[in-house]
Amino acid sequence: MKALVARPGGLGGVLLAGPAVRAVANGAGRVTLLCGTRGAPAARLLPHVDDVLVWDPPGERADGPAGPGTDTDGLVGRLRQEAYDVALVLAPDGLSPLPVAELLRAARVRRVGADCAGRADGLLDVRHRRLPGRHDAEAALDTAAAMGFGLRDGDDGRLRVLPAPDTAALTGNGPYVVVHPGAGAPGRAWDTGRCAEAVALLADAGHRVVVTGGPAETALTRRVSGDTAVDLGGRTCPRTLAGVLRCADALVAGDTGPAHLAAAVGTPVVSLYPPVAPAGHRDPYGVPAVLLGDPGRGPAAPGGHRPEEATAKDVVRAVRELLRAGG
């Protein structure tokens, strides 16, 4: 059986599809993951993915109208040529799977299923309805189960990635805490000054600190690192970042992508709630976590703060709490 799993979104969202991908692979001979440009690096980190197809739906094109992954006709032709037996569409919470399902119907995929609360207009053979309060990773597994796919015996359903490389040459030896100050979307980053203060206070508390960020965030990581932390801004790809996170005591981040990558390698997370993160995948899945800030725009949650109100001392206390809990 040839199966396709479609998961629009960025790095974090694709990582959350990993357990469902493993469930599909348990019943299929070959699994292809269809995702957008932003999610493709994560797709290549997932176990049991045999092929990655990149397509950016209208409105989600990462590199403009003429960017890579926008050739819809070419994609439909390739999907027809591959002749997939079954496809599972894992749309993020609150987004319709039907545009992707329509494309798969045009490609003559034999059986298509998705999590869909509204009318499917004949596009879906299996229409699963998400249970209230389900995390995106859990909802994806539920949808896979509705399609007849389940995890292998002994698979705990947590996030996983392929083995990460040894990154001691980047981080140096000894324990450390990772701080990731950037964000994948505007408005989701924590205040730079407070982040720099948190790095300084973590160092004062005896932690070695490693600061990470993408190629466009080198000025940010340099400012946050100061003279205290190891600055890895622009020096990691998703695979090497997984290695850095795997050996960390904890990650401090407001971006869901690095948070889910940390969860995939078993590292605890201090999560600074981005105000507009989708409800279905804010929380790091399957690892100890401390959540700072209110996910909504209303009053702060009891005992918590909105992201702009979280302080550097809050972060240090949260890291201490995670390390104490981990023994």
The confidence score (pLDDT) of residue 315 equals 96
The confidence score (pLDDT) of residue 36 equals 93
The confidence score (pLDDT) of residue 134 equals 87
Q: What CATH number is given to the structural domain containing 197?
A: 3.40.50.2000
Could you tell me if residue 159 is inside a domain?
A: no
pLDDT digits (tens, 9 = 90+) for 163-196: 999 999 999 999 999 999 998 665 567 889 999 9
Could you tell me if residue 151 is inside a domain?
A: no
The distance from CA 80 to its chain's CA centroid, rounded to whole angstroms, is 29
Residues 34 and 75 both lie in one domain? yes
Residues 20 and 137 both lie in one domain? yes
Is the pTM for the entire model greater than 0.75?
A: yes
Residues 109 and 222 both lie in one domain? no
The confidence score (pLDDT) of residue 94 equals 75
The confidence score (pLDDT) of residue 294 equals 57
Written as six digits, the tokens of 6 are: 């479609």
Domain that holds residue 48: 2-146
Closest CA to 69 of 55, 51, 79: 55
State the sign of the Cα–Cα–Cα–Cα dihedral 166, 167, 169, 174: negative
Residues of the chain with pLDDT under 70: 58-70, 184-188, 273-282, 294-309, 327
Residues 304 and 216 both lie in one domain? yes
The confidence score (pLDDT) of residue 59 equals 57
Could you tell me if residue 20 is inside a domain?
A: yes
The confidence score (pLDDT) of residue 304 equals 41
Number of structural domains (the chain) is 2
Cβ-proximal residues to 135 (8 Å cutoff; 6+ apart), any chain:
16, 280, 281, 283, 285
